[in-house]
Structure 1
């Protein structure tokens, strides 16, 4: 569970603050997993985010006959902390990639490294993307595989991950961490939550038509 809201109408900055994400993990192994693997390009034509969870790792989750296989996104339904390896989210820039992950249930990601644009898109959705060394990632992935129901906590404020009775340091880009902790990651919701102030300012500007 994430200490955050999704930024709907009427949601203020306080409700949007992301300080921690707690839950269970889903390990997806492999370096250079690109956005086309996360969500194939043929699904980018959709005009709504509804049902986007079904497109997350769509091809990787199916065998040659189209039947669901043992991919982690089939086996770890209900998990919310994704654990990945190096250069996750590389390839073409598409907001659909983190959107699909979020719709599936991902609220936080821990990995060795992320493509810069992918990480920025995660920030815009309130999803912390934390990095740590390869050894820690391997240990965390193995722990999740051996204990799929065990709790994990990503602390955005302290930049730590706690699991198996231990707490390890992670890194979260300062721009991302600041936006999440301060609750200013969703710029649209931030704008909507300040409509009274916007209207007051507009009323004082002679060139703004209030009609």
Structure 2
């Protein structure tokens, strides 16, 4: 199971510490940006700072912002940013944003909020590399997984059969509650995990446990 630690911080020094902590443990990390408009929280947004991240770390920049294209234009200048994930609800110009990401040689992902129908992104699937199912309302870490999330993952996996798109889950992913296992059983290709990793006394062990999850009760 692919595991992406999720980093969301108000200032870059704290983010930089986490990037350096996690870099030896994973290939990919998700860095969250919140503009204070699309979601109520305002975080660090100076994506140019990511140029100082470890060179071999692959960053998925998760843009929780009303103007994702503005972040795309800046982020594609950073070699470590390999994928940019923006929210379906943030813009009507989905194809324009996807094309800008692809033209820069990066992978394109789209995130779906809990209130957005899974089918809303159906026509975009052939153009995407990843779809991120939000398991919580975006903007704040530490929330519990919304109960219908695994079913949404399964529906998306069914819808995307034959299309080479990865399905991830972000928010509410915890080992102790069983929500991580439920998302694996639902067919998720990767898990985005914040508090379970960064509040752990042994982040490396937590990542190993998450990676070791395999479907126990797979959905048809």
Fold similarity call, TM over 0.5: no
Which has the larger Rg? 1
Bigger RCO (CA 8 Å, 6+ sep) = 1
Instruction: State the TM-score, normalizing by the size of structure 2.
Output: 0.32
User: What is the TM-score normalised by the length of structure 1?
Assistant: 0.33
More strand by share: 2
